[in-house]
Chain A
Amino acid sequence: MKLVESNFLKINDMNVSVDFFLKKDCINLLRGANGVGKTTFIIKLLDISKKVSICFQHRLASINSTRVKDILKVLSENNSLDKKSLDQYLEIFNYSQFLDREVNELSGGENQVLKLILNLSSKKDILIFDEPAQYLDTTNLYLFCDALLKKYNSKTILIVEHNTSYLKNLPLEEILMVKQEGHIEIKNV
Chain B
Amino acid sequence: MFEITQRLLLAFLSGYFLCLSGSLSQLTTHNPLSSPSTLGFTGVGVLSILGGFFIQKYFLINTSLELIGTVIFLILLLAIFLIVKMNPKTFKHLKNFILLGIAFNLFVGAIFSIVNFIFISRGIQFPSSIWFGNFRFTSIESLVLFMILFFLSILFVRGQARKLELMNLGDLFARNLGVKTSRVTMMSLGVSLILTSVVVIHFGVFSFVGLVLPNIVRSMKFFKYSIRRELYFGPIICGIILLGLDLLCYQVTIYGAEFPVGMLSAVFGSFALITVLFRSGNMNS
Contacts and interface: CB of A to CB of B under 8 A. Distances in A.
B72 to A, nearest CB: 33
Interface stretch (A69-77, A135-143, A161-169, A180-188): A69-77
State which size class the interface on A falls in.
20 to 34
A50 B162 contact: no
A8 to B, nearest CB: 21
Given A63-B32, A66-B168, A70-B226, A46 B176 contact: yes
B175 interface: yes
A61 interface: yes
A71 B218 CA distance: 17
A53 B178 CA distance: 10
A58 interface: yes
A46 B175 CA distance: 7
Please report whether the interface of chain A is mostly helix, strand, loop or mixed according to DSSP: loop
Most chain A CB within 10 A, of B27, B172, B178, is at: B172
B228 to A, nearest CB: 9
Interface string B109-153: 000000000000000000000000000000000000000000000
B176 A64 contact: no
A60 B173 CA distance: 8
Contacts of A74: 162, 165-166
A43 B172 contact: yes
A56 B225 contact: no
A46 B176 CA distance: 6
B60 interface: no
B169 interface: yes
A36 B48 CA distance: 47
B224 A65 contact: yes
Contact of A67 (B30, B31, B225): B225
Contacts of A59: 170
B26 interface: yes
B66 interface: no
A181 B166 CA distance: 40
A54 interface: yes
B227 A78 contact: no
A60 B166 contact: no
The 10 tightest CB contacts between A and B, nearest first, are A65-B224, A62-B168, A56-B172, A46-B175, A63-B32, A64-B218, A70-B225, A54-B176, A80-B177, A74-B165
Given A56-B170, A66-B225, 5 more contacts: A58-B172, A64-B224, A64-B230, A65-B225, A103-B169
